[in-house]
């Protein structure tokens, strides 16, 4: 296993991780910005107000996107297993 191959596998793993996490993190960011805007407009400065909507949205996103995420993870894992003999050279 060459250092280039290890770097390629690590890069692909990071890409898959980012690709799967960006929609959920983006939804949390949008909800956080909306709640922050609501807090600024109403001058409610409660620090815990932001957590409940973000948790609900993140869980809903996980429920909605989990089939897609599982397909992506399964494809990546299958490619690692299929290419395992090439990696062992």
39-64 pLDDT per residue, tens: 889 888 887 888 899 999 999 999 99
Q: What is the mean pLDDT of the chain?
A: 92
The pTM of this model reads: 0.77
Q: Are 13 and 47 in contact (CB under 8 A)?
A: no
- Burial profile 5-20: b = 16 or more Cβ within 10 angstroms, e = fewer: eeeeeeeeeeebeeeb
**Domain spans of the chain, in order of start:** 3-88
């Amino acid at each position: 296993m060459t250092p280039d191959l290890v770097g390629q596998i690590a890069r692909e793993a990071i890409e898959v991780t980012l690709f799967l996490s960006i929609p959920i993190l983006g939804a949390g960011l949008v909800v956080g910005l909306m709640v922050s805007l609501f807090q600024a407009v109403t001058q409610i400065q409660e620090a815990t107000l932001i957590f409940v909507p973000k948790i609900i949205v993140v869980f809903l996103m996980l429920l909605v996107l989990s089939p897609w995420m599982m397909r992506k993870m399964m494809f990546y894992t299958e490619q690692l297993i299929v290419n395992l003999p090439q990696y062992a050279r």
